Structure 1
Amino acid sequence: MTTLPAAFLDAASALLGPERWRTDEPTRQAHGQDDSRRFALPDAVAFPRDAEEVAALVRACAAHRVALVARGAGTATTGAAVPFNGGVVLSFARMNRIVEIRAADRCAIVQPGVLNGDLQEALAPHGLFWPPDPSSAAMCSVGGNLATNAGGPRAVKYGASRDNVLGLVAVTGSGEIIRCGGPYTKDATGYDLTHLIVGSEGTLALIVEATLKLTPRPRAQAGLRAFYRDVASAAAAVSRVMAQPVVPAMLEFMDAHAIALLRHNGSDVPEAGAMLLIEADGDEDTLPYALQSLADAAEGDGMLSLDVAADGVARDRLWAARKALSPALRTIKPGKINEDVVVPVSRIPDLVSAMEALSVQADLPIVCFGHAGNGNLHVNIMYNDADAAETARAKAAMPKIFETVLALGGTLSGEHGIGVAKRDFMAQAFDAATLAAMRAVKAALDPAGILNPGKVLPPLAG
């Protein structure tokens, strides 16, 4: 049974009607969790159709001090879309229209509920694509990508979501509709609210429309797979690859544990201390030169072997190992804590070495892989979630990952965001003055504190 004020219930019901304002148990249950496996039951779920309805609902929530959590497709892994304070979940599922594709301006105007995969399909006939490609691309929403500043393997060349958005229409916590940026790539006018709101996880304003920066689709791709004696050799190769003029389209890393797991599950990879997957893209004339430049940079002390895949079938075969890795993790243990931390590329060996030591200390497998060109590694603690002792050791190991990353000059998240999973470590990542500035921005845009309360920023001490 809902505990929302009667006056608020009447206002919301009148605004959205019974089909788009739901308080029934099944709908509330279905919108109480995300891919973090955390759960909290909202009091109601709203399905607005346009920006004006979003603004009106936000104003009603602010007037009655009702918490409001925006939700895309629910693929987040940090609990950012879970309504821990009850209140209303605002689903953007019905705001899923591609408003306009402006191929001549290389931009698209979309509503937040558009799925990343659907957008890519719509852009393909125009020879364009939107670069962010998280692992959940087929099912995650553009609004969710923007809320968390999602990235993916292509971010090493094309950037994450923040680098591929030109403008926004958003609703602040006061229910005001603001417009920032637009269909242009150069802008020195006023404060950059667009890039402030992207990555704020629905805590500052709700994105109701986005103008996305599009990129011409490459006509040709080719891949390299390089094996190294140890992590230090692979990290040195990453530095060489990123120091030469040809920027790889993807540059992925796997440690020895990931390689052993792939071998155990039948993948065609040799024994090695580390592996890099490198991809080049471009056109048919320039691609061979780009590939040779990347191959030359990948060679060096500690390299064991190098495979080249110039055609589509061979390239797919090289990348099959990377695609098989996440499902293969579940064959080790059913439980997984996946932290997407970032360190300077030169500190990757130190991070992996520290994780090997932590694995011994916790008596749990820890597997590292990810986007080496950005220093963005996924540290996976594997445990049996039906075993209380293993679960306790896994949870106790997580803070040590963050302590290590910060000591190495890194940061807490590269693409998953903060949510509640990493919120309490923000005080270690930022000093008091910086956190105070963030809280001031939050108070300015969401004075009633209703937008996704309890996420991103840690509670004030005392």
Structure 2
Amino acid sequence: MPLPPALLTTLHSTFPADALAIGEAERIAYSYDNSRRHALPDAVVFPTEHAQVEALVRACRAHGVPVIARGRGTNTTGATVPVAGGVVVSFERMNRIVRIDPDNRLAVVEPGVLNADLQKALAPHGFFWPPDPSSAPWCSVGGNLACNSAGPRAVKYGTPRENTLGLRAVAGSGEGFRCGTYTSKGATGYDLTRLLIGSEGTLALITEATLKLTPKPSAVRTLRATYRDVGSAARAVARIMAQPVTPCALEFIDDVALKLAHAHGGDSVPLAGAMLMIEVDGEPATLDSAVGAVAAAARGDGLEELRVAQSADETRALWAARKALSPAQRTISPNKINEDVVVPVSHLPALVDGIKRFAAKHDVLIVTFGHAGNGNLHVNLLPRDDAERKRAHACLAEVFALVIELEGTLSGEHGIGLAKREFMPLAVPASTLELMRNVKAAFDPDGILNPGKLLP
């Protein structure tokens, strides 16, 4: 449905000609994300300042038109697909690093800053921002915040929720507000910063973020452990996380994933029942003992080989398997179903065993890898035709049911979006969902912000 003429007039007056797109070709470019779902928006705008976002939301609210915030479209759950039409707000031009403050260990950035660009800007100051999703070269900080996207380093350093001090945003009412602090401690009212992070643009549009920075460690050591079977590797994860030295990355790769990566990446990728990639960071004087403690925990029944990288080149070679996984999966199934469930670390063996059982039961190829130190596994179902797609969805329902049974949750960093909406009542009690709806109504009284996402 075309936008009301009065709203179009407001958009033309708020945004310069090159910052408002209403042609079909431009709208198609912003109709989909990495979930491969798509729906055509009625317009796309490219704000460069906070005031434009306020004016946009006020105007859209007056006409009952949906507003969908968008980073760079790397989301895999359909969270940025404009299923109800409306106006997509692409933050790609709000990409300024406002300031870097090493003395107070913070940076103030706009939402369109790419994760990798932020890390490059922080490096000369000796700092980094811990969230490091695999899409870091292309994903934006705003998108990271919207889905609480983390990556391997979360096992030691936490997710965006633990690494963001404050936000500036615009609610669904069109009112701008700030929340959070510029300090590392604060106990002043409700924590709206952590509430907005992970809310997938359903409560407010983030226009600025104050990020908590971490000093870069002096040294990093990488280990690779291969195991007889996935159960042995999963039990090793529990042992590693039960001892005092927390690795800065602990990645699990199952046997199916290793075969795919080996076929794609060659002999640098070992063939085994399962593999763990482990990184330990710290000061050179203490690193040997830390690596020794982690290596001791990695040893146990089922270990086949434990290697410690001795150089940067060897480290890159050890990570080859992990980096080869995504392109290897695309060669098998363009319709990959990528879920990122989480269970308590001690329940990882039961989850891994269950996934193997479901794959056999439904005759669906499943590749499992991910951030095992957090209990966060990426369960990738690879259907190749319609029959396999139907079986894959039945299989996925059983995977989710097992995750909940194991006291886990449906998503660690991809979010809910469209893909997992129907499963929310499985994971969240009805009374809690009702509280979430009340929170949504307080921030977005007319329901215009990213409708159709997250809440069932």
TM-score by length of 2: 0.97
Which residue number in structure 1 is paired with residue 21 of structure 2?
A: 22
Distance in 1, Cα, partners of 2:269 & 2:29:
41
Partner of 2:208: 209
1:410 aligns with 2:408: yes
Classify the secondary structure of the residue corresponding to 1:208: strand
Cα pair 2:231 2:352 within 8 Å, conserved: no
* Aligned residue number for residue 60 of structure 1: 59
SS in 1 for 2:322: helix
Is the counterpart of residue 272 in structure 1 residue 272 in structure 2?
yes
Structure 2, unmatched stretches of 5+, are none
Q: Deviations over 1:198-234 (max 9, x none)?
A: 0000000111000001111112111111122222322
CA contact (8 A) 2:268 2:320 kept: no
Q: Deviations over 1:292-335 (max 9, x none)?
A: 11111111222222111132111111111111122112233333
Q: Output the amino acid matched with 2:233.
A: A
- On the 8 A contact 1:157/1:248 being kept in 2, the answer is yes
Tell me which residue corresponds to 1:94: 93
Are residues 270 and 70 of structure 1, via their aligned partners in 2, closer, same or farther at CA, if it must alter by over 3 Å? closer
1:423 is the counterpart of 2:421? yes
* Separation in 2, partners of 1:345, 1:255: 16
Rate the CA distance shift 1:331–1:17 in 2: closer, same or farther, 3 A: closer
Q: Which residue of 1 aligns with 2:4?
A: 5
Is 1:380 matched with 2:380?
A: yes
Taking the aligned partners of 1:324 and 1:63, their CA distance within structure 2 comes to 49
Matched with 2:345 is 345
Aligned partners of 1:52, 1:263: CA distance in 2, in Å?
A: 51
Alpha-carbon distance, 1:62 to partner: 0.9
Pairing 1:310–2:310 present: yes
Q: Output the amino acid matched with 1:443.
A: A
Take 1:434 and 1:278, find their aligned partners in 2: how far apart are those partners?
37
Shift of residue 270, structure 1, vs aligned partner: 4.2
Deviation at 1:439, TM superposition (A): 0.3
CA contact (8 A) 1:221 1:310 kept: no
Q: For 1:256 and 1:29, how far apart are their aligned partners in 2?
A: 39
Structure 2 Cα separation of the partners of residues 352 and 291 of structure 1 = 26
Q: Do structure 1's residue 370 and structure 2's residue 370 form an aligned pair?
A: yes
**Aligned position for 2:174:** 175
Q: The residue matched to 2:268 in structure 1 has which SS?
A: coil
- How many residues are aligned here? 455
1:151 aligns with 2:150: yes
How far did 1:177 drift? 0.9
Look up the equivalent residue of 1:409 and give its one-letter code: E
Instruction: Give me the whole-angstrom Cα distance separating, in 1, the residues matched to 2:393 and 2:300.
Output: 39
Aligned pair partner of 2:453 in 447, 452, 455: 455
Superposition deviation, residue 450 in structure 1: 0.3
Alpha-carbon displacement from aligned partner over 1:344-370 (angstroms, at most 9, x marks no partner): 112222222222222122222111111
Opposite residue 234 of structure 1, the aligned amino acid is A
Matching residue of 2:396: 398
Could you tell me which residue of structure 2 aligns to residue 298 of structure 1?
298
User: Could you tell me whether the CA contact under 8 Å between 1:222 and 1:312 is conserved in 2?
Assistant: no
Question: Which whole-Å CA distance do the structure 2 matches of 1:439 and 1:285 have between them?
Answer: 52
- Alpha-carbon shift at residue 4 of structure 1 (Å): 1.4
User: Aligned pair 1:234/2:233, yes or no?
Assistant: yes
How far apart, in 2, do the equivalents of 1:216 and 1:82 lie? 37
Give the equivalent residue in structure 2 for 1:141. 140
Any idea what SS the aligned residue of 1:285 has?
helix
Q: Contact 2:217 / 2:281 at 8 angstroms: preserved in 1?
A: yes
1:332 aligns with 2:341: no
- Partner residue in 2 for 1:109: 108
The one-character-per-residue Cα deviations of 1:127-175 (angstroms, maximum 9, x if unpaired) are 1111111110001000000000001011101111111100000110001
Other structure's SS at 1:286 match: helix
Could you tell me which amino acid in structure 1 is paired with residue 454 of structure 2? V
SS of residue matched to 1:335: coil
Q: Distance in 2 between matches of 1:381 and 1:232?
A: 20
Inter-CA distance 15–270: structure 2 relative to 1 (3 Å threshold): closer
> Structure 1, unaligned stretches of length 5 or more?
none
Distance 2:273 2:406 in 1: 22
- Report how far residue 19 of structure 1 moved: 1.9
| Aligned-partner Cα distance in 1 for 2:13–2:194 | 34
Query: What displacement does 1:121 show?
Result: 0.9
- Partner SS state of residue 59, structure 1: helix
In the alignment, is the contact (CA less than 8 A) between 1:256 and 1:272 conserved in 2?
yes
Cα separation, partners in 2 of 1:300 and 1:62, compared to 1, 3 Å: same
Instruction: Name the aligned partner's letter for residue 111 of structure 1.
Output: E
- Is this contact kept in 2: 1:224–1:307, CA < 8 A? yes
Alpha-carbon contact 2:132-2:151 (below 8 Å) kept:
yes
Q: Does the residue aligned with 2:277 lie in a helix, a strand or coil?
A: strand
How far does residue 269 in structure 1 lie from its aligned partner after superposition?
4.4
- Residue type at the aligned position of 1:181: G
Equivalent-residue separation in structure 1 for 2:155 and 2:10 (angstroms): 47
Within 1, Cα distance between the matches of 2:170 and 2:269? 50
SS state of the match for residue 281, structure 1? strand
Which residue does 1:357 correspond to in 2? Answer: 357
Q: Is the 8 A contact 1:228 1:272 kept in 2?
A: yes
- C-alpha distance in 1, partners of 2:386/2:315? 42
Instruction: Please say which of residues 143-152 and 173-182 is displaced more in the overlay.
Output: 173-182
Question: Which AA in structure 1 matches 2:175?
Answer: E
| Equivalent AA in structure 2 for residue 377 of structure 1 | L
Percent of aligned pairs sharing the same letter: 61
Alignment of 1:34-45 (within 5 A): 34-45=33-44
1:17 is aligned with what amino acid? P
The Cα of 1:64 is off from its aligned counterpart by 0.9
C-alpha separation between the residues in 1 aligned to 2:40 and 2:425? Answer: 28
Distance 2:18 2:268 in 1: 52
Q: Which moved more, 1:147-156 or 1:399-408?
A: 399-408
Please give the alpha-carbon distance, in whole angstroms, between the structure 1 residues aligned to 2:101 and 2:271: 48
SS, match of residue 442 in structure 1:
helix
Q: Is the 8 A contact 2:268 2:317 kept in 1?
A: no
Quote the Cα distance in structure 2 between the aligned partners of 1:187 and 1:267: 51
Distance in 1 between the 2:268 and 2:21 partners? 51
Q: Which amino acid aligns with 1:364?
A: V
Name 2:46's counterpart in structure 1.
Answer: 47
Is 2:235–2:348's contact at 8 Å kept on the other side of the alignment?
Answer: no
Contact 1:405-1:412 at 8 Å conserved across structures: yes
Deviations along 1:369-389, whole A, 9 cap, x unmatched?
1111000001111122xx322
325-334 vs 89-98, which moves further: 325-334
2:430 corresponds, among 432, 449, 453, to 432
What RMSD in Å do the two structures reach over aligned CA positions? 1.3
